[in-house]
Amino acid sequence: MSIEIQQSSVKIPLVDSTALDLDAFIPIFHEWIRERRIEEELLIDVADYRHVPYGPGVVLIANEAHYALDGSGGTTGLLYSRRRDEVGDAKAAFREALLRAATAASLIENEASLGGILKFDPSRIEMRVMSRLTAPNTEETRLALEPVWSGLLSSVGFVGAELKPQSDPREAFGLALQSCAEAPDLARLLAAL
Does 87 engage in binding with other proteins (CB under 8 A)? no
36 or 188: CB nearest other proteins: 36
**What are the angstrom distances between the C-alpha of 80 and each of 102, 126, 130, 140?**
9, 10, 11, 25
- Nearest residue to 35 via CA among 107, 117, 120, 118: 107
Does 34 engage in binding with other proteins (CB under 8 A)? yes
**What are the angstrom distances between the C-alpha of 27 and each of 51, 81, 104, 113?**
17, 21, 16, 10
Does 49 engage in binding with other proteins (CB under 8 A)? yes
Taking the complex as a whole, how short is the minimal distance between the CB of residue 50 and other proteins, in angstroms? 7
Which residue in 16, 19, 40, 50 binds other proteins (CB under 8 A)?
A: 50
- Nearest residue to 146 via CA among 99, 189, 94, 80: 94
**What are the angstrom distances between the C-alpha of 79 and each of 12, 149, 181?**
7, 17, 24
Taking the complex as a whole, how short is the minimal distance between the CB of residue 181 and other proteins, in angstroms? 31
Site for other proteins in 89-128 (CB under 8 A): none
Site for other proteins in 171-190 (CB under 8 A): 171-172
Does 66 engage in binding with other proteins (CB under 8 A)? yes
Does 63 engage in binding with other proteins (CB under 8 A)? yes
